[in-house]
Structure 1
Amino acid sequence: MKIADLITWFEEWANPSWQESWDNCGWQIEPGVLQEQARILVCLTPTLAVMQEAIAYRATGIPVNLIFAHHPLIFSPPKSLRSGDPIAEMARLAFTHNIGIYSAHTNFDQVQDGTADVLAQILELEQVFPIVTTQPGLGYGRVGNLQPSMSLGELMATIQTKLAPPNLIYSPTVDLEQKIDRVAVLGGSGASFISAVVKTGAQVYLTSDCKFHQFQESRDRGLILIDAGHFATERPACDRLTQKFQSLKIEWVQLSQQDEDFRSFYQ
């Protein structure tokens, strides 16, 4: 499948026009690869480490020509491109090695098998619906039921096992034996949706990048907030996207092994 055909297929599923006004989905760098057979490296964040990984594959005879990322490389238009600047270096390497960079961000968050939907599937939630509906069949986050219900402690252990976050932060509770029936999930930075989650009747909200007072707000509103980290809550969707690309019989596609969490926890 040519890269142009792949992008057409993807955008019929997750149209870039659905992105938020502040976002920058779609082509970040297109160095003239549209008519080439797609050989894709999928990643969460397009970094120099991922670009070097793509270049290393090319050196072994696998001519990777597309980095397909969730996070955009460019959020705001740069005012200059200078030596030593990461975006400038990514652009230089992309054109030098003929590797495109494409981003699917808030458009991918909303769709079936997108970031939130994959989290709901991992936790085996049932009767799932969006936290916030954006248009028919689309929306941010997912809310669903656990059948059978489980204790909060069991849910935390399940999240730890299935997402493997380096750390779990959660609202203070005196009862890890509390039965949980309804859970809300949203990969990445989801604390701004706390009010919407409360309205769904969810008892637990799994997301990331939550601040001190957002934990306070959740506690005061009777919602158990669990922060599993940005990487752990969004990386599974990249894995699922790789599997979907593989089902298209693309010549070569691989999930990046150089994605970075950008956080470490001192033990």
Structure 2
Amino acid sequence: MSTKAQTIFSLIEEIAPKYCAEEWDNVGLMVGRYNRDVSRILISLELNSDVLKEAVQNNIDLIITHHPLIFNPLKNIRYDIPQGKYVYELIKNNIDLYSCHTNLDASRDGLNDYIALKLGLKDIDILDIIGRDSYKKLVVFVPKGYEEIVRNALGNAGAGFIGNYSHCTFMTDGKGTFLPHEGSNPFLGNIGKIEETDEYRIETIVPDRLLKKAVTAMLKVHPYEEVAYDIYPLENEGKVYGIGRIGYTDNEYNLYEYALNVKQLLGLKEVRIGGEVEKKIKKVAVVNGSGGSYVSKAYYAGADVLVTGDVSYHQYQDAKALGLAVIDAGHYGTEKHFVQFMSRYLKEAAHEKNLDYEVIESQVDLSPFITY
């Protein structure tokens, strides 16, 4: 048994919509096709020769990574350089490659939130807002007796979500009229005769990213041959998304104590500390991956410390001048948790939706350095 790749990609994009990605990023299907059957999935932080060998040995159909293999358009595919060789090996072994990068970092309940929660932060908010969801109003006219099945189809497709409430709709009744012409196959009435029937007007709110899915689900269960529906733009302010998170620890620590806490909670061998070891830590900014450029935003958001990776000498000096402590847990150290996060999500989705695929976590150690 297997599941279509498109179904798996749609699952991922429910928690990591492509529109959440930074403009410079490249996310989605890197190599492969949407309509293939997938039985075995390998999750890895990124792709290299060892991960490829692991995929071949385990008869993998699809590799899902956080870091994209292809950032810029390819002008050639050379087998004598790593990127071209990886593309060649993927195609030769019939393995697809999909990546979700900054879209997963920026989205609500994505990787930044996952790391913040692993660190035990409370009252978590976004550090750097980069965008906001937009909405449409979807209105459809339904004959009496079919209102419940259409409402449920819309709600199950993600329409009608307001705050912590789902399946929100408003319904009014009225009279619908139509004249079936030759070549039509009317659900009600006769060709050449105006039909008048009792109908409901059902309206709901839909995020732009789910509009196509909601309309498709509605059309699938609607009994009419030609469905009358309207789509209106809305100015409602949707959910924000962005890079980094900021929140509070349960207890107050000094910098040294909190660094040890970060080291333990993220399962690291070491962390680097920048700042006075006795500095009091309560409000924490977190940016997984390379977040040294967020020093100023963390400071102006009121953070006592920035937990991130890849902090440069000059970025540390900027933090020191501002009085902001820094804990550099490493790019790999703050993003290796992608494997566990995505594996757990896809396994739970398979169970909930009765999908048939196996998820395997890569065992390749991608840590770039050995410390002596």
TM-score by length of 1: 0.91
2:325 is the alignment partner of 1:220: no
Contact 1:3 1:38 in 2 (8 A): no
Q: Which residue of 2 aligns with 1:23?
A: 25
Instruction: Determine if contact 1:40/1:68 at 8 Å carries over to the other structure.
Output: yes
Deviation at 1:154, TM superposition (A): 2.0
Which residue is 2:264 aligned to? 161
Residues 99-157 of structure 1: per-residue CA shift (max 9 Å, x gap): 10111011011123322111100111000001011222311100000112223222111
Report the equivalent of 2:364: 258
Q: Does 1:110 align with 2:211?
A: no
Dislocated runs of 4+, deviation >4 Å: none
Structure number having the greater strand percentage: 2
Q: What corresponds to 2:10 in structure 1?
A: 8
- Are positions 1:201 and 2:203 aligned together? no
Q: Is 1:242–2:343 an aligned residue pair?
A: yes
In structure 2, the residue matched to 1:45 is: 46
8 Å CA contact 2:281–2:305 kept in 1: the answer is yes
The DSSP-based 3-state class of the residue aligned with 1:24 is coil
The Cα shift of 1:23 comes to: 0.9
Once the two structures are TM-superposed, the CA of residue 16 in structure 1 deviates from its matched residue by: 1.5
Contact 2:254–2:277 (8 Å) recurs in 1: no
AA in 1 matched with 2:10: T
Which one-letter code corresponds to 2:256 in the other structure?
Answer: G
Greater displacement, 255-264 / 45-54: 255-264
Q: Counterpart of 1:47 in structure 2: which amino acid?
A: N
- Whether the 8 Å CA contact 1:33–1:99 is kept in 2: the answer is no
Output the CA distance in 2 between the equivalents of 1:207 and 1:218.
Answer: 13
> Unmatched 5+ residue regions in structure 2?
133-238, 351-355
Residues 66-92 of structure 1, C-alpha deviations (whole Å, 9 max, x = no match): 110000001122322222211122112
Shift of 1:232: 0.7
Question: What is the identity, as a one-letter code, of the residue corresponding to 1:221?
Answer: L
- The secondary structure found in structure 2 opposite 1:131 is strand
Aligned length: 258
Higher helix content, 1 or 2:
1
Q: Distance in 2 between matches of 1:98 and 1:173?
A: 53
Q: Is the 8 A contact 2:255 2:325 kept in 1?
A: no
Give the whole-Å Cα distance in 1 for the aligned partners of 2:70 and 2:120.
34
Deviations 1:8-41 (A, max 9, x none): 12223212222222111111101x4633034211
**Local SS of the residue matching 1:248:** helix
* Aligned residue identity for 2:306: Y
Question: In 2, distance between residues paired with 1:143 and 1:51?
Answer: 36
Contact persistence 1:17–1:107 (CA under 8 A): yes
Identical positions, percent: 31
Measured in 2, the distance between the counterparts of 1:14 and 1:172 equals 34
Q: 1:138 aligns with which of 241, 244, 258?
A: 241
User: Please, which runs of 5 or more residues in structure 1 have no aligned partner?
Assistant: 59-63
In the other structure, the counterpart of 2:58 is 57
Q: Residue 179 of structure 1: CA displacement? A: 2.8
Going from structure 1 to structure 2, the CA distance change for 1:238 and 1:174 (only over 3 Å counts) comes to: closer
